[in-house]
Amino acid sequence: MKKDDAVLEIPDQLKPADGRFGAGPSRVRPEQLLRLVEVGGAMMGTSHRRPPVKQLLAAVRAGMRDLFALPEGYEVALGNGGTTAFWDAATCGLVRERALHLVYGEFTSKFAECTRGAPFLADSILVEAPAGDAPEPAAVSVALAGPEAGAGPEADVIAWAHCETSTGVMVPVLRPADAADALVLIDATSAAAGLPVEITQADAYYFAPQKGFASDGGLWLALLSPAACERAERIAGERPSIGPDRWIPEFLSLQTALETSRKDQTYNTPAIATLFLICEQLQWMFARGGLDGMVARTRESSNHLYEWACAHPHAHPFVPDPTRRSLVVGTIEFGDEVDAGALAATLRANGIVDVEPYRKVGRNQLRVAMYPATDPADVQALTECIDWVLERWL
């Protein structure tokens, strides 16, 4: 390892046009930002209870409807606090008695911690798989009670992530055959707009806009099925009879979020720039074939990344099962002869940023986000830059 050497200078002609490959926040297109100044500027600093901003929110909701081809009865809800806040809102407002979680990385485990910590719920059921793999939703029974779970009610919610961003594993959104009345809650924070989905397979397909939508953090969006809306309404209404233990803070009330979203507003003040950037990105997506067009892009990017890694003498995809390798977040493991941390640092010094692995995965790897805003040519340039550095090191 040549860590002590002067930092290598990668030739400019090899570098990607845009060097941002972070999994979130992720690259915002410069054109989006220009439009924010030129068109959105007049909206900034105006009331979110008045038409210009309300129209923006309406456009975001309508855009999500179109992009995901939402069936009748599905609703688009929004709230402040990002996906992390939605986990708490879902814990309070969608889980009746017990949740079942497929856990295969940081984000899936964080939601499981939310329901596990709720004093008004029975112990959550966890079905775990090691980093780089994932449990099979279809094989999971909602009645399943692991040794940790003990006896108790059946799960009325089953939760997993479409893409586990910490490891780059994707799990398809397919309602388990025996789900019965259990709601299927899908964390699509990194997957939304970049992975194919049939929305009727989920009751809540939720995400934040700083990943696939090339916007900024702080907001959550959820596509909710009629069953999920009904559950939220019932739990909110039954609150006293559920018992004094279930106190739902207004900020975390899904019912309140639904009611304000229907009026094209949020419960409290949203970040207007974030909404504007989502709207711009939605238009950009529609001009390029909508969801199908975006999936074609992420497929092209990820095919290149994984084919490059498979053929590489010093690297391989971290996720062994090719069908589980995410189209939007790729993790590439290196042999011991390569210090991936030093590689990421060298790339960073050259303006290619945020390819470090997720902090808690702790492997000798790089993580590359390939959201729709990323030009597949930039992923190609990235692997050329990595090869250029490795040729000088090894």
Ligand X SMILES: *Cc1c(COP(=O)(O)O)cnc(C)c1O
Residues making contact with ligand X (CB under 6 A): 24, 82-84, 107, 161, 165, 187, 189-190, 208, 217
Nearest residue to ligand X by CB is: 82
- The least distance separating ligand X from the CB of residue 4, rounded to whole angstroms, comes to 35
- Bond from prior residue into 11 cis (ω within 30 degrees of 0): no
DSSP string, 175-225: --TT-TT-EEEEE-TTTTTTS---GGG-SEEEE-TTSTT---SSEEEEEE-
Per DSSP, 20 falls in state B
Following DSSP, what letter does each residue of 320-373 receive, concatenated? SSGGGB-SSEEEEEE-TTS-HHHHHHHHHHTT-B--SPPTTT--SEEEEE--TT
Q: Which is nearer to ligand X, 53 or 219 (CB)?
A: 219
For the bound state, the minimum distance from the C-beta of residue 43 to ligand X, rounded and expressed in Å, comes to 23
Of 131 and 161, nearer to ligand X (C-beta) is 161
Q: What is the residue whose two structure tokens read 């707009």?
A: 193
How is residue 155 written in tokens?
């799960």
Sign of CA dihedral 64, 68, 74, 79: negative
| Phi–psi pair at 114, nearest 5 degrees | -60, -50
- By C-beta, is 68 or 107 nearer to ligand X? 107
Give the whole-angstrom CA distance, residue 382 versus residue 309.
12
C-alpha radius of gyration, the chain, whole number: 22
CB of 371 to ligand X, least distance (A): 11
State which residue, 334 or 358, has the beta carbon closest to ligand X. 358
Minimal distance, residue 347 CB to ligand X, in Å: 21
Closer by beta carbon to ligand X, 167 or else 265? 167
Residue closer to ligand X by CB (options 85, 248) is 85
Who contacts 128 (Cβ-Cβ below 8 Å, separation ≥6)?
102, 103, 104, 135
In terms of CB distance, is 85 or 291 closer to ligand X? 85
Minimum distance from residue 224 beta carbon to ligand X (Å): 17
User: Is the Cβ–Cβ distance between 333 and 318 less than 8 Å?
Assistant: yes
In the complex, the smallest distance separating the C-beta of residue 47 from ligand X, rounded to whole angstroms, is 25
d(CA 20, CA 23): 9
Smallest gap from residue 8 Cβ to ligand X (A): 31
Name the residue nearer to ligand X (CB basis): 84 or 141. Answer: 84
Residues composing the chain: 394
Cα separation, 365 vs 344, in Å, equals 9
Output the smallest distance, CB 243 to ligand X, in A: 29
Q: How far apart are CA 362 and CA 360, in angstroms?
A: 5
CB of residue 252 to ligand X, shortest distance in Å: 13
Complex with ligand X: residue 170 or 258, whichever CB lies closer: 170
